[in-house]
Structure 1
Amino acid sequence: MGFLALFMVALMPVLKTLMLTAVGVVLAMDRINLLGPTARHNLNNMVFYVFSPCLMGAYLARTVTVDVMIDMWFMPVNILITFVIGSALGWILIKITKAPHNLHGLVIGCCAAGNLGNLLLIVIPAICNEPKNPFGEYSVCMADGAAYVSVSMAVGAVYIWSYVYVIMKISAEKTSRGERLDTHHSVVSIRSSNAGSENTEPLLISKVGGTVPMLEKMKKGAFGIVRRIRTINLQMLLAPTTIGSVIGFVIGVVPLLKKLLVGNGAPLRVIYSSSEILGGATVPCVTLIVGANLLRGLRRSGVSASVIIGIIVVRYIALPLLGIVIVRGAHHFGMVGSNPLYQFVLMLQFALPPAMSIGTISQLFEAGEGECSVVMLWTYAMSALALTLWSTLFMWLVL
């Protein structure tokens, strides 16, 4: 296929995503107000606690088998590489732009986590549905594509709600502690000035035993980190998306459970069908929420242009270029098979806009919601061009 034909194939799913996003923008307008702050919060909770876990479980139960997992062993590694490299580039971006402390978690999260689930659920079926797609007939393309998307979605969800969730939680806690300390110091300063005190005693000097030993401070810091990690791990294990993914994997790889639940002749197929129906609401609901949040981003700007440009450079230039090198290198050394659709999905995982779950996490912590809206606005606006061009190039490389 020529480059122009590949470009048209890649453009269609992006246009579909933009149309759904535009509907979300319209529904959030003041005149309509069907997706106001309260509605978005409630819909986010529905996606987080109901729709997304059902989608994970249904997709994985239907598509995953032991053989599929063996064939796709490199995909979890590939996704982990995107998270590690993205977070490292995000940390460098923070140092270069001197982003404020309250945005550190948001910047690293946006650079690390791509939209590995919802966007691929739109992109891959749309590409397979194109008459001139380079990956074969629709039935063959979708049979492989559904497995790739489901594993990508599940693994990405686990990484987001463990790795990125931890980073953003720690950042939010540090920001909250910093604000409390600033308030405390302001109160102390006011009281001291009112009393006419000129005491300049250092804060780290003990009234009884002199300077606080450095070893004691290190011990307290280490114990605090251990306590946070224990709490975060428990929360990660209890995340609904993680539970849904685990249930889906178990049903998929255990033949007896799959025969009981999945298929037209399965005795308990009503359970699977109900979960599939609920899960089908995930993509449209999340995309509508993104559109509504983009409208909020248009109305306020709480993040500097340098940070936004930096995130765009990381997600749409640095990561895709590194992705080509990594995936082609893995294929050269025999770690990735010759299936062109598989290689395409692996490369595409490096070129996606930030995960929509970043907005959900920021809303859960009530930290950086406005800034997240601005970042999502510009990154998703740029994705229309970037994702189309990279998809075209990736298809050309794997054919």
Structure 2
Amino acid sequence: MDDYSSSSSSSSSSLMGKVDEGDGALLTAVLPLLKLLCLALIGLILVHPRTQLVPKSTFRLLSKLIFATFLPCLIFTHLGTSISYTNILQWWFIPVNVLLSTGIGFVLGYIVALICRPPPELFRFTIIMTAFGNTGNLPLAIISSVCHSVKNPFGPRCYGSGVAYVSFSQWVSAILAYTIVYHMMEPPLEFYEVIHIEENGDEEQHVDDDEIEIEIENPEPEVRGNNDLSQPLLVEAEWLGMEDREAEQFKTPFIARLFNGTSELPLPDSPRSLRCLAEPKVVKKIRTVAEKTPIKHILQPPTIASLLAIVVGVIPKLKSICFGSDAPLSVITDSLDIMAGAMVPSAMLILGGMLAEGPNESKLGTRTMVGIIVARLLVLPLIGIGVMTLADRWDLLIAEDELYRFVLLLQFTVPSAILLGTIAGLRGYAVSEASALLFWQHIFAIFSISLYIFIYMKLVLSFEN
């Protein structure tokens, strides 16, 4: 009888232990999102039209401050202390993972566009919004929230290492945004009309690419500058240095005009002459596209901070001068670290302010919007688990580093980048659709990210056991 009671009590205690372990894992997954949700809720209350405790213009200035100061400080102070030449060789899969998640997102976006059949002018937009995720601010906020507790599952170095892992991918995201995304967000040529062709007196009219003015048949709300409070808050100041003087060139379908004009070229008499004449023309067009690509704007403050942190981190003498309690420049780096602490709460306040505006009207259609949300927030993370499983099996990941795996999985899980809304506003393409889609994605992401953080923690911590 005693043996039975003792065995019964031991089995009950083990069962209760499993239940407590499960509840603890669930709380560990949900609490970080609840903390961020509380911060976003404060921002929503502050900027909501019914309360208007803080003017919308203040939130725009705060978004500039995040992008130009808080985020670079966070990247430099934590990436600089963590990175070294050895770490660069070990962390190579982080930027590759960004490219993988984006490439898989492209395929999913194309499938969504084929199945859901959005309006033709929004076909490319559907692919873009599915492919490009928020690999910067939101992952940093999630890592900060997960590591906030002393009892976090990743140990005492959770915050510094997690921020370093996320920051190491910033330069890849910047290159993708300011090259591929910029040109893919070009307004479709077929939905524009030629309204004016310059004439030269009584001479014969000559049509040239530079003389054609193009106007949208159903124009989107124009972005008249950073002080225009009529534009959505998501069109934030993440594209510094591009002001009204350059705004018009952003809103023209430059590449479509350039390459569609090849049909008007004179046809040569022989294949050989065609090859000789076509090659310089193509090279010229490619060079023109490269000149029109805002490559110089890739070097924005967060990207500069990433590159500077890498340079300082891989040179031991520079690292010892900048970081450490006895470092000569420790006063400066400590000051930067203090400013970096404002990045996460400020970013969440901005997100709450964006949600306070509510969804704009959209021509995208409910079916396409649901398709993008499901593909981006439910299907892509599942594929990410498969990618990480294969990468771990092929020994491509750092051994016994659960936080490293968690950050890589997180890159597949986040909603579309808010920067896409900024680019949409600059290019005058699908501004309302971007605003509406980003709104609903972030609402649904509250539940999807909580679910997948729970799953990820179960997976990555299982490797430890």
* TM-score of the pair, normalised by structure 2: 0.70
Partners of 1:51 and 1:129 in 2: CA distance: 18
Q: Count matched residues.
A: 376
> CA contact under 8 A between 2:47 and 2:55: conserved in structure 1?
yes
Instruction: Write out per-residue CA displacement over residues 63-101 of structure 1, whole angstroms, 9 at most, x where no aligned residue.
Output: 222233233222222222111111222233233333346
What percent of counterpart residues are identical? 30
What is aligned with 1:150?
Answer: 164
Partners of 1:47 and 1:182 in 2: CA distance: 40
1:383 aligns with 2:445: yes
What is aligned with 1:243?
Answer: 304
What is aligned with 1:21?
Answer: 40
What is aligned with 2:285?
Answer: 224
Instruction: Write out per-residue CA displacement over residues 147-169 of structure 1, whole angstroms, 9 at most, x where no aligned residue.
Output: 233232341x3233221332332
Partners of 1:338 and 1:150 in 2: CA distance: 17
Q: 2:406 aligns with which of 326, 344, 347?
A: 344
1:324 aligns with 2:336: no
Q: 1:165 aligns with which of 143, 163, 178?
A: 178
Residues 73-222 of structure 1: pairs in structure 2 closer than 5 A? 73-100=92-119, 103-104=122-123, 106-130=125-149, 133-136=152-155, 139=156, 143-155=157-169, 157-175=170-188, 180-181=192-193, 183=195
> CA contact under 8 A between 1:56 and 1:248: conserved in structure 2?
yes
Q: Cα 1:208–1:115, aligned 2, differ >3 Å: closer, same or farther?
A: closer
> CA contact under 8 A between 1:112 and 1:164: conserved in structure 2?
no
Larger radius of gyration: 2
Partners of 2:413 and 2:422 in 1: CA distance: 21
> CA contact under 8 A between 1:106 and 1:358: conserved in structure 2?
no
> CA contact under 8 A between 2:186 and 2:429: conserved in structure 1?
no
Deviates more, 1:296-305 or 1:267-276: 296-305
1:358 CA displacement:
2.7
> CA contact under 8 A between 2:135 and 2:166: conserved in structure 1?
yes
Deviates more, 1:86-95 or 1:8-17: 86-95
AA matched with 1:11: V
> CA contact under 8 A between 2:121 and 2:191: conserved in structure 1?
no
Partners of 1:184 and 1:214 in 2: CA distance: 32
> CA contact under 8 A between 1:102 and 1:172: conserved in structure 2?
no
1:234 aligns with 2:295: yes
> CA contact under 8 A between 2:98 and 2:173: conserved in structure 1?
no
Residues 48-59 of structure 1: pairs in structure 2 closer than 5 A? 48-59=67-78
Partners of 1:21 and 1:284 in 2: CA distance: 8
RMSD: 3.4
> CA contact under 8 A between 1:105 and 1:171: conserved in structure 2?
yes
> CA contact under 8 A between 2:140 and 2:163: conserved in structure 1?
yes
Secondary structure of the corresponding residue to residue 135 of structure 2: coil
What is aligned with 1:304?
Answer: 365
Partners of 2:317 and 2:263 in 1: CA distance: 66
**Where do 5+ consecutive residues of structure 1 fail to align?**
189-202
Q: Cα 1:184–1:252, aligned 2, differ >3 Å: closer, same or farther?
A: same
Partners of 2:49 and 2:187 in 1: CA distance: 35
Partners of 1:52 and 1:302 in 2: CA distance: 34
> CA contact under 8 A between 1:236 and 1:242: conserved in structure 2?
no
1:9 CA displacement:
0.7
> CA contact under 8 A between 2:130 and 2:376: conserved in structure 1?
yes
Q: Cα 1:300–1:207, aligned 2, differ >3 Å: closer, same or farther?
A: closer
1:276 aligns with 2:337: yes
1:386 CA displacement:
1.0
> CA contact under 8 A between 1:26 and 1:32: conserved in structure 2?
yes
Q: Cα 1:237–1:355, aligned 2, differ >3 Å: closer, same or farther?
A: closer
> CA contact under 8 A between 1:106 and 1:168: conserved in structure 2?
no
* TM-score of the pair, normalised by structure 1: 0.81
Secondary structure of the corresponding residue to residue 303 of structure 1: coil
Q: Cα 1:106–1:121, aligned 2, differ >3 Å: closer, same or farther?
A: same
> CA contact under 8 A between 1:102 and 1:171: conserved in structure 2?
no
What is aligned with 1:355?
Answer: 417
AA matched with 1:309: V
Instruction: Write out per-residue CA displacement over residues 266-292 of structure 1, whole angstroms, 9 at most, x where no aligned residue.
Output: 111233233333333332232222222
